[in-house]
Structure 1
Amino acid sequence: MNESIFTKIINGDIPSYKIYEDEHTYAFLDIHPIASGHTLVVPKQQVEFVWDLDTAAYQALQASVQKIARHLRTTLNVPYVGEQIIGVDVPHAHIHLIPFTDVSQYRHMPDMTAEPDHVALSEIAAQLRFS
């Protein structure tokens, strides 16, 4: 299997707006966010589908998702953090965490062809980064 874009991000070959990393997972901002703070949480082990992770890797991923979702909710002062597992864009298991206040924010579809707002991404990453 070829290295996915997420594996390249984890390895530091492609820059990212990392907010969290532990032994098993890596979390970074989506460069085309549905809402400010939209975060991708990925296992460091490249497996195409979340459901194909072994039990320990799946549990580590979900523990990170829970920790990061709580952090997003508190830090951004939003009542909700939505979770999406889509699994078609990149052949590397990943979970989207989308902080929102109103359901219209959660359902927003970003312009995937737009140039990422690197200033805004850098600012929100600094706010969300775990120490």
Structure 2
Amino acid sequence: MPSIFTRIVNGEIPCHKIAETDDFLAFLDVFPCAPGHTLVIPKQEVDYIFDLDEALYTGLMQFSKTVAAAVEKAVPCKRIGVAVVGLEVPHAHVHLIPLNSMADMNFNNKLKMSQEELAEIATKIKKELL
């Protein structure tokens, strides 16, 4: 069965898209640790990040770096935290989380944001990619 991220890639589940290439997709986490929390994924469904081939792995990291720079410009924060956990969804992904304190990286304390709030943040981030 396809992962939830593959279903997002295929357009079966909507997302607040930040950026997309032929190989990668970045979108807002709907249960963020902090406003602007972005997920970056390869479109190819591979469960474990270290099972990605070298080109896909390095491409994912480069794409993540580009997206992180836009998030940092759009969302007030001290820096962008990066996490790869890999247990919650069987599809390799990178978390980009705007940080003002270590507490912002708490995966057990998710924010509840409206679709309108998420859309507004996504628009701000996308403007920084232009």
Which residue pairs with 2:122 in the alignment? 125
Aligned pairs (5 A) from 1:1-131: 2-107=1-106, 109-111=108-110, 116-129=113-126, 130-131=129-130
2:33–2:110 Cα contact (<8 Å) kept: no
2:32–2:110 Cα contact (<8 Å) kept: no
2:73–2:125 Cα contact (<8 Å) kept: no
**Distance across 1 between alignment mates of 2:91 and 2:104:** 26
Match for 1:122: what amino acid?
A
Q: How far has the Cα of 1:111 moved from its partner? A: 4.3
Match for 2:99: what amino acid?
F
Match for 1:125: what amino acid?
A
**Distance across 1 between alignment mates of 2:100 and 2:110:** 20
Structure 2 unmatched runs, 5+: none
Match for 1:117: what amino acid?
S
Aligned-CA RMSD value: 1.6
SS at match of 2:45: coil
Q: How many residues align?
A: 128
Q: How far has the Cα of 1:107 moved from its partner? A: 2.9
TM normalised by structure 2 equals: 0.90
TM normalised by structure 1 equals: 0.90
Structure 1 unmatched runs, 5+: none
